[in-house]
Structure 1
Amino acid sequence: MTAQQQLQPLSTGTDYERLAERFRPIFARIGEGALERERTRSLPYEQIKWLKEAGFGAVRVPVEYGGAGASLPQLVQLLIELAEADSSVPQALRGHVAFVEDRLNAHASAPQDKWFQRFVAGELVGNAWTEVGAVKIGEVGTRVSRKDGKWLVNGTKYYSTGSIFADWIDVYAQRDDNGTDVIAAVSTRQSGVRHSDDWDGFGQRTTGSGTSVFDNAVVEEENLIDFASRFKYQTALYQLVLLAVLAGSGRGALRDFSHEVRQRTRIFSTGNAPRVSQDAQVLQVIGKASAQVYAAEAAAVRAAGAAQRAYESHFGHDAQAEHAANVAAELESAQAQVVIAELVLRAASDLFNALGASATSELKQLDRHWRNARTAASHNPLIYKERIIGDWEVNGSEPPYVWQIGSGPAGAK
């Protein structure tokens, strides 16, 4: 450990079981209402409030500042446990997880005491980066401008997951005065910020992912952050949250289907036992799914270890080592993404082979595990990640750290 690391409090890990025990009763309460929220598309306002009050948003904050000092593998494991209860909740916290990580990295060069205090107090940060419509790749329509002595944000964002629950929003924008891309940390406690729960996907329907409109929303100058200073393993970190969502969805599916098999009394004449719970072929289905979910969870936690090393290397004053750690974090998150998506989607589908047609009942909502996993896996297309990994393996090509979505060049067909 370098002298800088010794001076700078870092979040390198804590006693996981003790940490998890703080939150498991809350996870259980969240899980109790998950099925009804899914059926009625009711947003988990109260459930996220429980997590805020319990300090879940500060688990990565160093102990010296009132947080739990958890490592990224420990955070991912917590998110997996939470996703097993309700996979929409950790995804709603994705923007917060990334903003906290950015402030942790920024602490290497400038104290972040004020933000750490906010996190410990339970304040959450949402996400507002994506724009749709005519905006082209590499462009951003949301603007930050100076008027009457105030910095104002104007624009419309979509897929702003979790912002409807948040106290702050991490807004990707561009300054009018110098054209610099910035992150504007905008307080939601003002009339210039409006949200709509208009996400219409078939899965992850209660993440609060919808439209955010900024109409002369005020942002303090100290909360305008140069995007170029953003922590380098951000895309890996965003992906890790989705991997936790996927692994947790797999655990939830395994739990629910195992319960159904345990309780089922009707059997098929073509079966192998007087009870479904004793049928060797049905047990094989459950056993294979268990192994798939196990592998998915293990891959997610291992990939989080690479991101943790990238975080710690930022404080080591060794540019070459930090660069190598960022490359590894990006590649390992991509490798994990490819296999975890396949494992969980296969498990969530094949588990239906353990039951009859009654498993498709809308009352049971067993299909939600596949729908939610399929939706989470549709972020950051797998086919491109596979190519990026292959390009590294064959040609040593460095993976991209930032990517965008938007309209193609004019006239393209």
Structure 2
Amino acid sequence: MTLHDTWAEIPDTAALKARFRPVFDRIAEGALRRERERILPFEEIGWLRESGFTALRVPVDYGGAGASLVQLFDLLIDLAEADTNIAQALRGHFALVEDRLVAPRAEGEIWLRRFGAGEIAGNGWTEVGEVKIGDTITKVTPEADGFRVDGEKFYSTGTIFADWIDTYATRADTGEPVIAIVATAQPGVERRDDWTGFGQRLTGTGTTVYSAARVEAAGLVPFATRFRYQTAFYQLVLDAVLAGAAAAAVRDVSEQVRRRTRGFSHGAGTVVRNDPQVLQVVGRARAFAFAARAATLEAARAAQHAYETSQAGDAAADEAANVAAELASAAAQVAGADLALRATSEVFNALSASAAATGLALDRHWRNARTAASHNPLIYKERILGDHAVNGTEPVYVWQIGRVTG
């Protein structure tokens, strides 16, 4: 029996949006100040926890909302429009929720109850430095009463805000790749806010150090059992971030145009908010944001189908659904990145030099979109899409980054 059996009817999308809109609006109000002063959004993520947003995909029986994947990513775009940092900071959390949702009931139940109660997970997968492709320095060692984790991760998105860390490692005794779900509230875990990127600066993406960190038996999961559409899922979060960045740029520039009283002698000779060329710029960017959102939601439908086939016991149907989900998320990422980068850059054509004022921080939308678009280079996604179209080559579901020689 799987957790699928505990699901009630999918909730109403309009009701979910009405439920979380006040929280998103509150988050948006402080986004500019957080950007200017580099304030990590601990409080705002707390609001999402308290509102039940972090338990969106958790079944109702376990304290969640029982939302579909399309609903999750629809709402994530809304959250990203309010603050792209916070949407991305929850990337690892929602991925671990999804993994435990797909798992057999006996394995997933303890975690879904925790997530339904508001506990949050972060991410600890990537290693930097001398690690070679295919290697993992972080090790899990069996001990009498559980397991010990030692190692270091970077790009630990969201971990600084989290109760648990979804950590990729290998067992020291067998060499088997595993997921260790590590509690953050222990002396053996150190989290550093040392991410230095020019965008997405408040995602808590930095270093995590494990020094004899403890892991309970229920927190060790063979990587081979990880939910198959995980790569599509991770990319969909970035797709949502990109769509949200584009929408936020349109929102903020629209407000600046609405307020603007200064015009140009070689313009339309009217107030800027009625200048047809300016309105065209804003309208074009709005269309880009709309298309980025639509692409993300279409890919989310493919991921939802992959979730459904994971519960149905038809291996062939599940294989086909996972291929479709991976290709859809890649296509949405390639298209969404292009659309978001154009929207967040071209909106400046609706204003003048004053739009470059650091106090407005309108550049943050482009910086955030550019940073999100740089995850998992787009050139490889384009090649994968082309290789499948021409040669029928299946996409690679899991990849690693590391040092190469030659």
TM-score (norm 2): 0.98
The code of the aligned residue for 1:22 comes to R
Q: Provide the residue aligned with 1:250 in structure 2.
A: 246
Structure 1 residues 10, 390: CA separation in 2 closer, same or farther (over 3 Å shift)?
farther
* C-alpha separation in 2, matches of 1:232 and 1:273: 58
Residues 68-102 of structure 1: CA deviation (Å, up to 9, x unaligned) = 11111110010000011110001000000100000
1:291 pairs, out of 270, 287, 292, with 287
> How many residues of Structure 1 are paired with residues of Structure 2 in the alignment?
406
* C-alpha separation in 2, matches of 1:99 and 1:269: 57
Q: Provide the residue aligned with 2:29 in structure 1.
A: 32
Residues 195-251 of structure 1: CA deviation (Å, up to 9, x unaligned) = 110000000000011000000000012210000000001000000000000001111
* C-alpha separation in 2, matches of 1:392 and 1:13: 33
Residues 135-163 of structure 1: CA deviation (Å, up to 9, x unaligned) = 00010000011345441100000000000
Q: Provide the residue aligned with 1:313 in structure 2.
A: 309
Shift of 1:5: 8.1
User: What does 1:108-119 correspond to in 2, within 5 Å?
Assistant: 110-119=106-115
Q: Provide the residue aligned with 1:210 in structure 2.
A: 206
* C-alpha separation in 2, matches of 1:12 and 1:337: 30
Q: Which runs of 5+ in 2 are unaligned?
A: none
* C-alpha separation in 1, matches of 2:10 and 2:343: 31
Shift of 1:287: 0.7
CA contact (8 A) 1:12 1:71 kept: no
Q: Provide the residue aligned with 1:369 in structure 2.
A: 365
Q: Provide the residue aligned with 1:43 in structure 2.
A: 40
* C-alpha separation in 2, matches of 1:242 and 1:6: 27
The code of the aligned residue for 1:258 comes to S
Say which SS state the counterpart of residue 266 (structure 1) adopts: coil
The code of the aligned residue for 2:109 comes to D
* C-alpha separation in 2, matches of 1:272 and 1:250: 26
Q: Provide the residue aligned with 2:126 in structure 1.
A: 130
TM-score (norm 1): 0.96
Shift of 1:297: 0.4
Q: Provide the residue aligned with 2:182 in structure 1.
A: 186
Residues 27-72 of structure 1: CA deviation (Å, up to 9, x unaligned) = 1111111001111111000000011111111110112322111111
Q: Provide the residue aligned with 1:21 in structure 2.
A: 18
1:384 pairs, out of 380, 384, 402, with 380
Q: Provide the residue aligned with 1:302 in structure 2.
A: 298
Shift of 1:10: 4.0
* C-alpha separation in 2, matches of 1:29 and 1:6: 34
2:228 pairs, out of 225, 228, 232, with 232
Say which SS state the counterpart of residue 178 (structure 1) adopts: coil
* C-alpha separation in 2, matches of 1:234 and 1:342: 23
Say which SS state the counterpart of residue 110 (structure 1) adopts: helix
User: What does 1:58-137 correspond to in 2, within 5 Å?
Assistant: 58-107=55-104, 110-137=106-133
Say which SS state the counterpart of residue 325 (structure 1) adopts: helix
Say which SS state the counterpart of residue 106 (structure 2) adopts: coil
Structure 1 residues 61, 7: CA separation in 2 closer, same or farther (over 3 Å shift)?
closer
Shift of 1:320: 0.1
* C-alpha separation in 2, matches of 1:203 and 1:11: 39
Residues 320-369 of structure 1: CA deviation (Å, up to 9, x unaligned) = 00000000000000011111000010011010000000000000000000
* C-alpha separation in 2, matches of 1:222 and 1:61: 18
What is the CA RMSD across the aligned residues, in angstroms? 1.4
